[in-house]
Every structure is written in C-alpha cells, then in structure tokens.
Amino acid sequence: MLRRLFPLICALALTPLAVFAEAPEVLIEEQARQSWGNDLPPDARVHVRFTGGTIEEAEMISAFWMDRDTGQFLANAVTPEGITHRLQGRLLAMLELPVPTRRLMPGELVGAGDVKTVELPVKRVGAYTITDPGKLEGMQVRRMLAAGRPVMTQSVMEPLVIDRGDKVNILYDDGRLVVTAPGRALDDAHRGQELRIVNLVSNAPLVAVARGEGLVEVIR
C-alpha cells in the first residue's frame, strides 16, 4: 500500500503551493475595517486612494498604520515574489443615505420623488441620521429639510391623521359593548398616538388613541 502511495506523496511534496494574490486595495480595506471596528457601519463602502505608486497584486499586508480620523494610511504590501512595497494614501469611508431632492417645509409629506440616494462620508452621519429611504418616504416634515443634506429622525414624524380642532368619531369597544359618539380633538395626532379629546354629547374630556382620519378610540 505504501509503495503505491509513495510516488503520489513525492509528487505532492514537489508541487509548489498556490499563492493567492489580491489587489492591494482589497487587503488594505480589510485592514482598515479591522482598525475602525464597530465605529464603521457594516454597509459602509471603503474607497482606497493611493497618493504614491502602487502595485498590481499583493499576497499580504505585513504592516499597516492608519489615522482613524483623517483616513491617512501607510502599508507594507508583500508581492507573491516576496518583495515588500511601501504604499500610502487615504481611506474614505462612505455610506449611502436618502436625502431630499428639494427643500421641504414643515407640514409637507415626503413623496418618493422627493428622495434620492447619495454617497456621503460616514463622519457626516450622526447617531440620529436616517439611513433607510423607507423611513423617510411617506413621513411628514416637522422641521425644514434642505435639499441634498442628511435628515435627522427628529426632523420628520408620522403623518398627522387628526389636527387640533377636528371633529372626530369616538369609539369605545370593551369586547362586549361598542359605543360611538361625536367629539372634538384638542391635540394633533398621528396614527397610534394618544391625544386629548372632548365628548360633544357629555362635554367630558377624554384621552384617546388616533386610529385613522377622524377616528379615535378611548382606551381608558
């Protein structure tokens, strides 16, 4: 058995190991993502810009340094031939964000045509910046939105379904009895938000939840 395997073992021993080379940008991006760690959003794109000469392929990065604030980096890239090259440049961490295509004023509804996606530096993205277009379209503007600028979550809100002073239909349902009565809203409210109302029959003040346009439900 060993005699039959011996030629195969010798052939494998004499076969050179495959060298896996990558574009240096790929290896440098890997190092940068490790350096940024959790400070870099998972869906961010990292662009590598060389300020000096570069090489076509590298087998590994033997040394890496970067300034997390500016993105400046230095790297020692080792080619498949074992030659080390010093590379330098800048890393740009970018994120795709929804921004308004025009200036939107308070009270306006954000339509699909009012939003476009642009790539902006991650450092311009705050903790309360809206990154999902689905969380911007259909919302109502609370504070003026500038065209082309990121939108903060506190600058928009769910659309109002009831305005202060609106006549509303009051619904009470305890599972056994359903009662309706006319009322008037004392607050603005979006769907699912609590508001103060007054029952126009009894003149009694109540707290209700907005269920839709002109419809509120008393929950207590």
Q: For the purposes of burial, counting CB atoms within 10 Å of the CB of 208, is it exposed (0-12), middle (13-18) or buried (19 or more)?
A: buried
Q: Which domains does the chain have, with CATH numbers?
A: 19-93 (no CATH), 95-157 (3.90.1210.10), 160-218 (2.30.30.760)
Overall pTM surpassing 0.75 (yes/no):
no
What is the Cα–Cα distance from 2 to 15, expressed in whole angstroms?
A: 20
Could you identify the residue written with the tokens 């230095």? 74
pLDDT of residue 4: 53
Render each residue's pLDDT in the chain as its tens digit; 220 residues: 445 544 544 444 444 444 578 899 999 999 999 999 888 888 899 999 999 888 999 999 999 999 988 899 999 999 999 999 999 999 999 999 999 999 999 989 999 899 999 999 998 888 899 999 989 999 999 999 999 999 999 999 989 899 999 999 999 887 787 888 999 999 999 888 999 999 999 999 999 999 988 899 997 6
87: tokens are: 């590379």
Q: Which amino acid is residue 126, in one-letter code?
A: G
Separation of CA 107 from chain center: 24
What is the Cα–Cα distance from 172 to 1, expressed in whole angstroms?
A: 87
Neighbours of 11 (CB within 10 A): 9
pLDDT of residue 150: 93
pLDDT of residue 24: 93
Asked if residues 97 and 120 have their Cβ atoms less than 8 Å apart, the reply is: yes
Neighbours of 177 (CB within 10 A): 7
Would you give the end-to-end CA distance of the chain in angstroms? Answer: 86
Give the DSSP per-residue string, 156-182: EEPPEEE-TT-EEEEEEE-SS-EEEEE
Asked if residues 198 and 206 have their Cβ atoms less than 8 Å apart, the reply is: yes
